[in-house]
Structure 1
Amino acid sequence: MTITRRTLLKAAAIAPAAAAAPALITPAAAAPQGPTPVLHQFTLGDARITALLDGHLAIKPEFFTGYDAAKAEAALAGSLYRENAKGLEIPVNGYLVEQGGEYTLIDTGTAQLMGPDLGALPAALAAAGVTPEQITTVLLTHIHPDHSGGLLTPDGRAAFANAELAVAAAEWDYWHDEAVLAAVPEESRGFFQTARSSVAPYANRLKLLTGEAEAASGLSAVPLPGHTPGHTGFMLDAGSEALLFWGDVVHSAALQFAEPDWTIPFDVDQALAAQTRRQMFDRAAADDLLVVGMHLDFPGLGKVLRAGKGFRFHQAPWQFGL
C-alpha cells in the first residue's frame, strides 16, 4: 500500500485522538523540480555526522492534544515561527554517522510514501558522497513511514543492500503482532502492512534491541517509549563527547518545549509520550547533553535549557564542529 496524506491520516485512528487528524496535517509546498539535497556536516570527537533533510510537513497547532489557543500564542510570541495556511512547518531529518570507517544511517526518510515535498534524503546522501551500498547499519528510531519509508527502493527491494537493520524488539513486535492488527480499525491496517513491508527485506540481517543494548559500533540504544511502544533514541559515544539522537521526542519545537505535555494523535500512549518527553528534557538540561531530533529545525542540533516552568531549545550554530 502506498501511503498518501489521506491514508496516513486515517492510520492515526490507532491513537485515541485521531478523529481530528485529517484536516490538520498536510505536506508543505512541493519543490517545483523534485527534492533538492540539503545536508549539514559536523564533527564530534572521532565521529563525523551528516544531517540529511528529507523534507517538511505542516502541522496545525490545534492538532496537538491539550491544545490551548492562548498557550500556543504565548509559545510563539517573540519567535520566528510563523503559522501559514497549512500550519507550522516541521522538518523530517535523518542522520549519517561516520566513525571508524563505518557508515551508520539513523532513520531513512519517507521515500515516495508521503508526496513530492518529501523524499529528499537519498539525494542528500548522494550529495554527501555516500552510496547506499556503503551503509553498514541502519538504525530505526521507530517504524513510522517518515522514518522507515526509505528502507525500500520504488520497486520494493532493500535500498541498503549491505546494511544490517537494528530496531527495538518491542517496536518490531508491536507492528508484527496479529492481535494488535486485528484490534485496529479496518482503515488503519494498511499502516501496519506498510510498516511490515518496509522492514521485510531485512529479515535475514536484523538486529533486535532490548534495553540499552549496543546498536552499532559507538552507538547504544536509549528506550524512549510512548510515541510508539519501542520508540528508541541512540547515544553516540564519540570518544571525548556524546550526542543523543532522540527520534520523535519532539514533533514541534515551536510548541512542545514550552508545553511538554502536549501530545499528538500518532502517540500510541500519549500519557507515556508526555512523561518520556519531560524526563528527557530534564535529563538533557541537567546533563548539558547535546541532542539531535528528527523533527527539530534542521539540522536539529542543540541543547535543552530550562525556561520557567517549561524548556527551550538552544540551536547550535550552523558551522558547529567544522
Structure 2
Amino acid sequence: MTLSRRTLLKSLGLGGASLALPSFGMMAQAAPSGPAPVLHQFRFGDATITALLDGHLAIPSAIFTGSDPAKVAETLAGSFYREGGQGLEIPVNGYLVERGGQYTLIDTGTAQLMGPDLGGLMAALTATGVAPEQITTVLLTHMHPDHAGGLIAPDGSAAFPNAELVVAETEWGFWYDDAIMASVDEGSRGFFQMARDAVAPYAERRKPFTGEVEVAPGFTAMPLPGHTPGHSGFMLDAGDAQLLFWGDVVHSTALQFKNPEWTIPFDADQPLAAQTRKAMFDRAAADQLLVTGMHLDFPGLGRVERDGAAYAFDQAPWQFGL
C-alpha cells in the first residue's frame, strides 16, 4: 500500500478535510466517568475469557462505501436492527483471557477519548476482580483510539504497569512516521498524537512482531491488513479449541456480513480491507472457526456461515456451552 497524504486522510475518516481535534490532555480532562460495567465470562478450552464492553458508538449507514438507502433497508429488513438519528449503534469490545493464572488483555477500549457512551472497559475489568497490575500482556490489534486509548491512565501513566505491549511493527511504524504526520493538516495530527501518547509508557516493554508468529503463549498473530497497515488478529490455541480475535474485520454486524464489499472511511486501504474481510469470511465458514471481534454485537462470539452469495453471523447464545 502507498501511504500518500490522501490515503492517510481517508484512513482517518477525513476525506480531504481537516479535523479540528483537541489535544489528548484536553480530552482527558473533559471526559466523564463512562458507562456502567458490562461483561460476560465463559470457559473456552483451558482458558477463561471475559468480554468487556467499553460502550457503544453510532455509525451512519451512509458512510459505508457502496451502500445506498434501498440496499440498507433491504439488508435490515426482518431484523431487530434499526438505524437511529445518529446511525447504527455498534459496540466497542475488549477481551480478557486467563490461562494458568496469567492475564492477557486484547485491546483496551477508549478510556476518556470518545465521550460519555464509551470508556467502560476499565470498570468492567475491575468488576472481574482482576487488577490492572495483574495484566502481563496487552495484545493490540491496531492503534486507533477506540482500541489503544485505554492503555494510559488519566495522568498519562501506564494503565497496565506490568504489561508487555504486543503490536505489529508495521502498525507502530505508521503512527510514528514523522513525515506522514507532518504531511497532514494540523488539526488531523491529533490522531497521531493520541496513538503515540497511548503507547508511549510502554516503549521499553514493547514487543514488535511481523507476520504470522507466536506473540505470547497460546497466541499467534494473524496479519489482517486494510483497516490499518498493521491491523492484526490473534488466534488463541486453548488446548483443544481455537478462537480468533479478529479486531476490526467487521464494523457493523448488521451490514457487512450481507455486504462484505462495503467499507468505511476509517479503512486505510478500502479495497484491501474488503479483500481481507472476504478471505476471512471464507476461511471462518469453511473451517467452522469460532471468532470474535471488537465491533461484533456484544459479547461477540460466534461463527460465520455462508448465506447464498453473502454471509451471516451465527452468534453464540449468552450462556455458552463450549
Structure 1 length normalisation: TM-score?
Answer: 0.91
Question: Please, which runs of 5 or more residues in structure 1 have no aligned partner?
Answer: 1-10, 23-31
Secondary structure at 2:255's aligned position in 1?
A: helix
2:10 and 2:149 map into 1 onto residues whose CA distance is 19
Q: Which amino acid aligns with 2:298?
A: F
Tell me the residue number matched to 2:53: 53
Q: Which amino acid aligns with 2:169?
A: A
1:53 and 1:294 map into 2 onto residues whose CA distance is 9
- Aligned partner (choices 1, 11, 22) of residue 15 of structure 1: 11
Counterparts of residues 269-308 of structure 1 (less than 5 Å): 269-308=269-308
Q: Which amino acid aligns with 1:137?
A: T
Counterparts of residues 1-322 of structure 1 (less than 5 Å): 13-15=9-11, 18-19=14-15, 34-321=34-321
Q: Is the 8 A contact 2:11 2:228 kept in 1?
A: no
2:16 and 2:209 map into 1 onto residues whose CA distance is 34
Over residues 101-129 of structure 1, what are the superposed CA-to-partner deviations in whole Å (9 max), with x where a residue is unaligned? 10000000000000111000001001111
Secondary structure at 2:278's aligned position in 1?
A: helix
- 1:184 positional shift: 2.2
Q: Which amino acid aligns with 1:106?
A: I
- 1:144 positional shift: 0.3
Secondary structure at 1:243's aligned position in 2?
A: strand
1:34 and 1:281 map into 2 onto residues whose CA distance is 33
- 1:21 positional shift: 9.6
- Are residues 49 and 16 of structure 1, via their aligned partners in 2, closer, same or farther at CA, if it must alter by over 3 Å? closer
2:159 and 2:320 map into 1 onto residues whose CA distance is 30
Secondary structure at 1:172's aligned position in 2?
A: helix
- 1:14 positional shift: 4.0
Question: Please, which runs of 5 or more residues in structure 2 have no aligned partner?
Answer: 1-6, 19-31
**Sequence identity percentage:** 70
1:21 and 1:89 map into 2 onto residues whose CA distance is 25
Secondary structure at 1:187's aligned position in 2?
A: helix
Q: Which amino acid aligns with 1:120?
A: G
Structure 2 length normalisation: TM-score?
Answer: 0.91
Secondary structure at 1:153's aligned position in 2?
A: coil
Q: Which amino acid aligns with 1:13?
A: L
- Structure 1 ranges of 4+ moved more than 4 A: none
Over residues 22-54 of structure 1, what are the superposed CA-to-partner deviations in whole Å (9 max), with x where a residue is unaligned? 9xxxxxxxxx98421100011111011000000
- Are residues 84 and 61 of structure 1, via their aligned partners in 2, closer, same or farther at CA, if it must alter by over 3 Å? same
1:190 and 1:33 map into 2 onto residues whose CA distance is 22
1:132 and 1:114 map into 2 onto residues whose CA distance is 21
Secondary structure at 2:233's aligned position in 1?
A: strand
2:83 and 2:297 map into 1 onto residues whose CA distance is 15
1:259 and 1:36 map into 2 onto residues whose CA distance is 33
Q: Which amino acid aligns with 2:215?
A: A
Q: Is the 8 A contact 1:21 1:63 kept in 2?
A: no
Q: Is the 8 A contact 2:284 2:290 kept in 1?
A: yes
1:106 and 1:268 map into 2 onto residues whose CA distance is 22
The alignment covers a number of residue pairs equal to 304
Q: Which amino acid aligns with 2:137?
A: T
